[in-house]
Amino acid sequence: MTGKIALERAQKTAEVIVKRLAPYCKKKADVQTPYIEVVGSVRRQRPWVNDIDIVLIPADPWNLYHAILGLGQTRAAGNKIMRVIVGDIQVDIYIASEETWATLLLIRTGSAENNIRLCLRAKHMGWHLHADGSGLFNEKGERIAGDTEESIYNALGLKYQLPEERG
């Protein structure tokens, strides 16, 4: 595997992967586009990235699994994450549900510093932002945000940041 990858190369590779996996992903009811999104440093538009991160919701888990295996050498294959090497690029594929979708987009987009800032803000308020994607929970354990990335920022009293503004 290489060290840093130019953003443009990572975007082109990610685009090919998304096209191959999208047919096996659940479709959004309102727009009929698949639940599959490139996240991480590619979504944040960093000029150089270490890997490609993708969040998706399976509609056809069996064929999706085999499509992922067909991308390249498998390094990890679990219920929540699969890691494959495509050419010389590591690709981490995070498996979401509709409930975890938006929070996983937020957490997996990063940056690490932004995630720490959000988690510390939640903790300061007596709340907890779950990295597993389940959402933002208050001190009573009630889910108070997580249907959209914006809902988490709003609940924390913060202005929403576009991915490219997150460091």
pLDDT (0 to 100) of residue 79: 85
- In the three-class reduction of DSSP (H, G, I as helix; E, B as strand; rest coil), residue 52 is classed as strand
Q: How many CA atoms lie within 13 A of 157 on its CB side?
A: 6
User: Could you say which of 3.30.210.10, 3.40.50.1820, 3.20.20.70, 1.10.760.10 is the CATH number of the domain covering 101-157?
Assistant: 3.30.210.10
Q: How far apart are CA 16 and CA 72, in angstroms?
A: 13
- Closest to 124 measured CA to CA, from 105, 113, 139: 139
User: Could you say which of 3.40.50.720, 3.30.460.10, 3.40.50.10610, 3.40.50.300 is the CATH number of the domain covering 5-95?
Assistant: 3.30.460.10
Q: How far apart are CA 38 and CA 81, in angstroms?
A: 14
- Which residues are within 8 A (CB) of 72 and not within 5 positions of it... i.e. 6 or more apart? 84, 85, 86, 87, 91
* Domain regions of the chain by residue span: 5-95, 101-157
Q: Which amino acid is at 155?
A: A
Q: In tens digits, what is the pLDDT along the chain, a chain of 167 residues?
A: 558 999 999 999 999 999 999 999 999 988 889 999 999 999 999 999 999 999 999 999 999 999 999 999 998 888 899 999 999 999 999 999 999 999 999 999 999 999 999 999 999 999 999 999 999 999 999 999 999 999 999 999 999 999 999 98
pLDDT (0 to 100) of residue 160: 97
pLDDT (0 to 100) of residue 35: 97
- Closest to 39 measured CA to CA, from 120, 96, 93: 93
